[in-house]
Amino acid sequence: MKTQKIAAFLAAAVATGAVASIVQTQINLGQLVRIGAPVTASVRAWATLEDLARFGPVMAGIAIVALLLAVLAGHLVLRFTSPAWRKLVFVVAAVVGLWFVFWLMRSVIPMPALPGTRTALGHALMSLTGIVGGLLYAILTSPNRLTPGVGNRAARWRHAGAVLALLAVPAMLFFAMAPGAGTKPEAVDPASYEIQTVSTGLNRPWSAAFLPDGRVLVTEMGGRLLAIAADGSSSEIALDGLPPIFQQGGVIGLMEVALDPQFDQNGWLYLTMGYGEAGANGTRLVRARLAGSRIEDVRVLFSSTLKPRAGNNGGRIAFLGDGTLVLSLGDGSARREEAQNPANHLGTVVRLDREGRPPADNPFVQQPGVAPEIYSLGHRNAQGIAVDPTTGDLLLTEHGARGGDEVNRIVSGGNYGWPIVTAGIDYPFARVTPFQRLEGYREAELEWTPSIAPAGLAVYDGPLFPEWRGDLLVPALKERAVRRVLRDGRKIVGQQLLLADLNERMRDVKVAPDGSIYVLTDGVDAKLLRLAPPARSG
């Protein structure tokens, strides 16, 4: 009887997982259709089946937790209730159990746990799939269905086999459909460079910039700006007059620091930072004048559209050849479809003059109802941006979800597809979209699946590593290395890894005026590293 109840419980969980997977796929595809995705009947059917095989087992695991709570609560209630209410009790308990588990996941997981539960309606529809599990469990464990008698060995074996099948089939489907681990490129010859540790003990550093006197400015997300000398000594730049910074762990806070191209004449530096509060925050661009050990003449140039979560902020800036600047902005993670909505700044690159105004030749500046600052859209979370000094190309690295990290070449008015087009899948293994390519959306120059989590970008153009000129340097958080992306002109011809043996998350990389490479590691006890060719002996 015990194995029969276990089999009934697992059958209810698997059935709930399957139905919830189907419901979530329809919710997700409905969102994509609303923002212009060409979802045909065949595309819908295939996406539903694919999610059923890959996300269904994950959802079944979630259902096991929810139904365990529901079954325990249901049996407790039935002690004080008529058996005639048995089905209703387990159905209600299962729906409430799923609602609670979905709510808990939304509350404690930084990224949206399940796409289907992002809205109140979706949360309710996903919770109602508990009707299937509760009803099935109530039917399969009804007194007239349970096999009495301890000695019924054949029945026990049948029930044990059912338990194993109910566990094995979803597990096999999941492992068959889960993305592979991928292959890592070879390491750059470690004898070709030396690593100097310039500074240690940095607290969540995010960006570096080089002062004319040789010091390196480094931001810490908690709100500090440090000037670090070559000998490792550092001093703090007073940020008096800076507007309040919204900071949450290593997700948002004080982010980018960059010097104006005419810094020698005007002393301007630019900072990006979080602003607002937990339920309504965004990314802000500030310009100030560096005056010795403090800043002055602080001016807010731009504040992005507010978003309800702290994640996916973008925050990198670069200067174009025409004197304008560009700023990357993330989709905010809660409503990723907003990256296709040009009425706000989420999931875009914006272009501004150095006073914070949208230039007259921005692609959408004359269109009513469209944010005039937008230069390109359809980005998820771009944390690397650089201008190729040879071609003038604007290059961008952006985080995908589970895979789908990209290097993009940005053109004015370009739509880079997120979330309609991506090779990545959601963190719970469901499809973000059925489309990896579509006409009308710009294709990536390079795509990484599985994800490496690219957190920055530099184009090497220095004299110390002449064979690296034109190559991209990409610090990776998840991969714990710096990728060297080898290029022949604009064509990508290979990849190598730097600093993988350190096994540290890499946050930023910048090329110094002398051609050495500076790397910021990530975290609460991070380092500033300098890479240069090995010193010649003798």
pLDDT of 434? 96
Residue 505 corresponds to which amino acid?
R
What sign for the dihedral angle of Cα 467, 469, 470, 473? Answer: positive
Can you tell me the distance from the alpha carbon of 516 to that of 463, in angstroms, rounded to the nearest whole number?
A: 8
**pLDDT-based confidence at residue 348 (cuts at 50, 70, 90):** very high
Rounded to 5 degrees, φ, ψ at 297 are 50, 50
Q: Classify burial at 24, counting beta carbons within 10 Å of its beta carbon; exposed 0-12, middle 13-18, buried 19 or more.
A: buried
pLDDT of 143? 82
Q: How long a stretch of residues is the chain?
A: 538
* In a domain? residue 133: yes
For the chain, give the mean pLDDT: 93
111 and 14 housed in the same domain: yes
Q: Residue 81: is its pLDDT beyond 90? A: no
Question: Helix 153-177 and helix 41-54: axis angle, to 10°?
Answer: 120
Residue 410 corresponds to which amino acid?
I
Beta bridge partners of 409: 395
- The pTM of the full predicted model, rounded to 2 decimals, is 0.93
Q: Residue 355: is its pLDDT beyond 70? A: yes
Strand, coil or helix: what is 338?
Answer: helix
39 and 172 housed in the same domain: yes
Can you tell me the distance from the alpha carbon of 364 to that of 367, in angstroms, rounded to the nearest whole number?
A: 5
* Torsion angle defined by CA atoms of residues 129, 130, 133 and 139, in that order, rounded to the nearest 10 degrees: -110
Mean pLDDT computed over 345-353: 98
| Structural domain harbouring 233 | 203-298
* In a domain? residue 348: no
71 and 145 housed in the same domain: yes
159 and 45 housed in the same domain: yes
61 and 12 housed in the same domain: yes
pLDDT of 83? 87
* In a domain? residue 57: yes
Structure token digits, residue 251: 């997700």
pLDDT of 125? 97
Can you tell me the distance from the alpha carbon of 204 to that of 508, in angstroms, rounded to the nearest whole number?
A: 11
pLDDT of 165? 60
> H/E/C letters for each residue in 132-201?
HHHHHHHHHCCCCCCCCCCCCHHHHHHHHHHHHHHHHHHHHHHHHHCCCCCCCCCECCHHHCEEEEEEEE
Mean pLDDT computed over 226-243: 96
Q: Residue 423: is its pLDDT beyond 80? A: yes
**pLDDT-based confidence at residue 1 (cuts at 50, 70, 90):** low
61 and 158 housed in the same domain: yes
pLDDT of 176? 72
pLDDT of 538? 47
* In a domain? residue 415: no
236 and 104 housed in the same domain: no
DSSP code per residue over 237-282 = EB-TTPPPPP-BTTTBSEEEEEE-TTHHHH-EEEEEEEEEETTEEE
Q: What is the end-to-end Cα distance of the chain in Å, rounded?
A: 83
pLDDT of 154? 60
Q: Which of 168-172, 241-245, 459-463 has the lowest mean pLDDT?
A: 168-172
State which of 277, 298, 319 marks the end of a domain. Answer: 298
Q: CB of 259 within 8 A of CB of 271?
A: no
Query: What is the number of domains present in the chain?
Result: 2
57 and 93 housed in the same domain: yes
Mean pLDDT computed over 54-66: 94
Q: Residue 142: is its pLDDT beyond 50? A: yes
- How far is residue 58 from each of residues 51, 170, 172, 333, 446, measured CA to CA in Å? 10, 9, 12, 21, 29
187: left (phi over 0), alpha (psi -120 to 50) or beta: beta
222 and 143 housed in the same domain: no
Among 336, 361, 343, residue whose Cα is nearest residue 351 = 361
Q: What is the pLDDT of residues 105-141, one digit of tens each?
A: 988 877 777 889 999 999 999 999 999 999 999 998 8
> H/E/C letters for each residue in 398-413?
EECEEECEEEEEECCC
17 and 108 housed in the same domain: yes
* In a domain? residue 49: yes
* In a domain? residue 50: yes
Rounded to 5 degrees, φ, ψ at 408 are -120, 145
Give percent of the chain above pLDDT 90.
84
20 and 107 housed in the same domain: yes
Can you tell me the distance from the alpha carbon of 207 to that of 221, in angstroms, rounded to the nearest whole number?
A: 9
95 and 161 housed in the same domain: yes
Mean pLDDT computed over 438-463: 97
Q: CB of 272 within 8 A of CB of 315?
A: yes
**pLDDT-based confidence at residue 150 (cuts at 50, 70, 90):** very low
**pLDDT-based confidence at residue 510 (cuts at 50, 70, 90):** very high
Structure token digits, residue 228: 């670090």
- How far is residue 34 from each of residues 7, 298, 433, 480, measured CA to CA in Å? 41, 42, 13, 38
Question: Helix 130-140 and helix 86-108: axis angle, to 10°?
Answer: 140
CATH code for the domain in which residue 255 is found: 2.40.10
pLDDT of 179? 74
For 397, residues 6+ apart whose C-beta sits below 8 A from its C-beta are 382, 383, 384, 385, 405, 406, 407, 408, 454, 456, 457, 474
Among 69, 71, 58, residue whose Cα is nearest residue 25 = 58
Can you tell me the distance from the alpha carbon of 277 to that of 245, in angstroms, rounded to the nearest whole number?
A: 9
